[in-house]
Amino acid sequence: MGRLQRLLPLEGERTCLPRRRPGWTWGGKAVPVFVFMALGLTLSSPATAQDVSLQSQCWKPQDLAANPDDRLIRKLDGEPDTKPVKRQLMSFVPVAPQLGGSIRRVKIRDGRKLIALTFDLCEAMGQITGYDGAIIDTLRQNQVKATFFAGGKWMLDHGERSQQLMTDPLFEIGNHSWSHANMRKLGRDRALREIRNTQAAYEQTREDLSQKQCAKPVDETLSQVPARIGLYRFPYGACNADAIAEVAEQGLLAIQWDVAMADPVLMQTGDRIVKAVLSKVRPGSIIIGHANGRGVHTNDALPVLIAELRKRGFEFVTVSELLAAGDPEISQECYDEKPGDLDRYDTPKDQMQADHPRMVKAPDATGPVFKNQVVRAPDAAPQDRPKPVSHKVRAVKADKQAEDPFWPASLKTK
């Protein structure tokens, strides 16, 4: 692919940026600065005192801190789902053809070891997923930048937390569709609603923030919060040519990943997450995890990962900053490790299992507890760890295991 490069604005070019603010090129061709502004990308986002003051003006440290109850995932038993907001969207320009596709990673041009941590905040119909505040606390305590791909429904159901994320100079927010519907299986009208309803949810949440009394004394700093989202992640990581085209037409860059924590896997552990990430990460990697209560032991692994990756010389940046630092590696297919490995989500059964995994009540668990998962306190000695909370693993019928996309093959009944 071409290279994204900085340059001075072209003579006569109209931009919304101050004079002498750098523009950008792609493959030697000029790309107007307003294109990137319309995408909502923060191409350089150093933390400033004003950035911090907006968040601190509206929330005390205890308000920002994790609340274990926020992590719970609730099924809507007969209750109505949150409805999309109706509003005029911010103006945008479609993505340039050379940027259309699924961005898996970035080839860093100057040799720096930059990587982007990303976390999905998805929420399907018929449920309200969680907010894993422990993950956010860890990122803040370690001053680690990250990008959160949030569903529109999730943002409206977690309005206060969404505002806290969008006002934090460490973080940026991307679009993860309205209700986590598989874009490969949707018609054009439904697909556009999934995208645009999420854009509207973000813009409404930002507007609600601007109307808060706490934001009035620092109103000018609201400009540090992007007016629109410029990044998108496909639900289930699944796409096709039509879905890629629709996302690009809506002025969004499609962001995949090349390193997965695999934290929704039922039997995942913190040690396995650490090993999986460290074995695959390289400069320019985009790492995916989950912060909506679906991640199993994600925060157990995160402090270890942060320390080890920094020890190896890696620097954490947002996805937008990663894109600005090199050449995106773009595919016309969406996959995890190899083409076709996410096609299983084309079936409603696998989608249902991913969005509504079997769960049991386990208030002492460190991760979301699913049927057949062994629950243990984080510091429990082996002899103190409880027995499985539900049916024994070997008692589960093979046909039920086969239906479960997250069930490790090594544990399937012979």
Contact between 52 and 120 (Cβ < 8 Å): no
pLDDT digits (tens, 9 = 90+) for 45-95: 434 444 446 898 899 999 999 999 999 999 998 899 999 999 999 999 999
Domains of the chain, earliest start first? 1-38 (no CATH), 48-346 (3.20.20.370), 372-411 (no CATH)
Say what the pTM is: 0.78
Q: Does 28 score more than 50 pLDDT?
A: no
Tens-digit pLDDT profile for residues 312-324: 999 999 999 999 9
Q: With 70 as the cut, is the pLDDT of residue 260 above it?
A: yes
Q: Which residues are 226's β-sheet partners?
A: none
368-407 residue pLDDT tens: 433 333 333 333 344 443 343 333 333 333 343 343 333 3
Average pLDDT, the chain: 80
pLDDT band at 214 (very low <50, low <70, confident <90, very high): confident
Report how far apart, in Å, the C-alpha atoms of 39 and of each of 7, 91, 227, 248, 322 are: 19, 9, 10, 10, 15
Give yes or no for a contact between 115 and 315, defined as CB atoms under 8 angstroms apart: yes
pLDDT of residue 265 exceeding 60, the answer is yes
Give 310 or 50, the one with higher predicted confidence: 310
CB atoms within 10 A of CB 67: 13
Is residue 6 within 8 Å of residue 22, measured between CB atoms? yes
